[in-house]
Amino acid sequence: MVARPSHEATLTSAIGVVDAVARQSVNDALTTLGIAVTVEAEDVTSLLSSVLARPPMVAVVGSQIAGGTMHAVHRLTKEVPSCLVVLLATSPNDAEMLDALSAGAVGYLPRDLPVSSIATAVRAVLDGEVALTRTMMSRVVEELQGRPGRRVRLVMSSSTVRVHVSNILHKLHVTDRDAAVRVLAGI
């Protein structure tokens, strides 16, 4: 489960994107949503050293970052586990998405999304959600169904879990989880 920042904490992010114009656009969109960008970098070495020195809550990493995208994702998730990682893919593909999620990223978004959508997705990640388009989420589900042995780290908000539990209880015509267990066990 992803830790939620306190409401009194300043929401912070890092942006590791090679293209300066794109980096500035994402910075502006995040700032508009109240997320302070504390680190900007165009290569993995600068990104990692800055994030290690001053860990933000989330890091947005571009897929063409010098030094290797997956290298950045692996290092960030291992060395700064409190920092949530969202990958911006220039040419999104299933293999890279699954690799990024397996490496610990909590988001994988196409770079060509409007920057306001990217910023909104980053905000959702800070609220405990994953940042995937609906199409990508479908591909993750297909992958999980097709390869039961492969594990991908997924995060659901507690409100989503409550809705699903409530629906199950309603369908079983019971009022709580204990009653649902008794119904399912045939007791």
Across 11-25, 77-91, 134-148, 153-167, least confident range: 153-167
Residue 127 lies in a domain: yes
* Number of domain units in the chain: 2
Residue 3 lies in a domain: no
Strand partners, 85: 59
Domain extent, residue 182, equals 157-187
The pLDDT tens digits for 163-185 are 888 888 888 888 988 888 888 88
Q: Tell if the pTM clears 0.75, that is, is over it.
A: no
Residue 4 lies in a domain: no
Residue 148 in this model has a pLDDT that exceeds 60: no
Mean pLDDT, residues 104-116: 93
pLDDT for 2: 45
- How far apart are the C-alpha atoms of 109 and 144, rounded to whole Å? 19
Same domain assignment for residues 172 and 122: no
Same domain assignment for residues 41 and 85: yes
In the chain, the percentage of residues whose pLDDT exceeds 70 is: 91
Same domain assignment for residues 45 and 96: yes
Same domain assignment for residues 164 and 183: yes
Mean pLDDT, residues 15-37: 89
pLDDT for 151: 54
- How far apart are the C-alpha atoms of 144 and 69, rounded to whole Å? 23
Nearest to 101 by CA among 117, 114, 80, 84: 84
Residue 122 in this model has a pLDDT that exceeds 70: yes
Same domain assignment for residues 101 and 20: yes
Same domain assignment for residues 123 and 97: yes
Same domain assignment for residues 131 and 77: yes
Same domain assignment for residues 75 and 139: yes
Same domain assignment for residues 140 and 118: yes
Tokens standing for residue 169:
């209880």
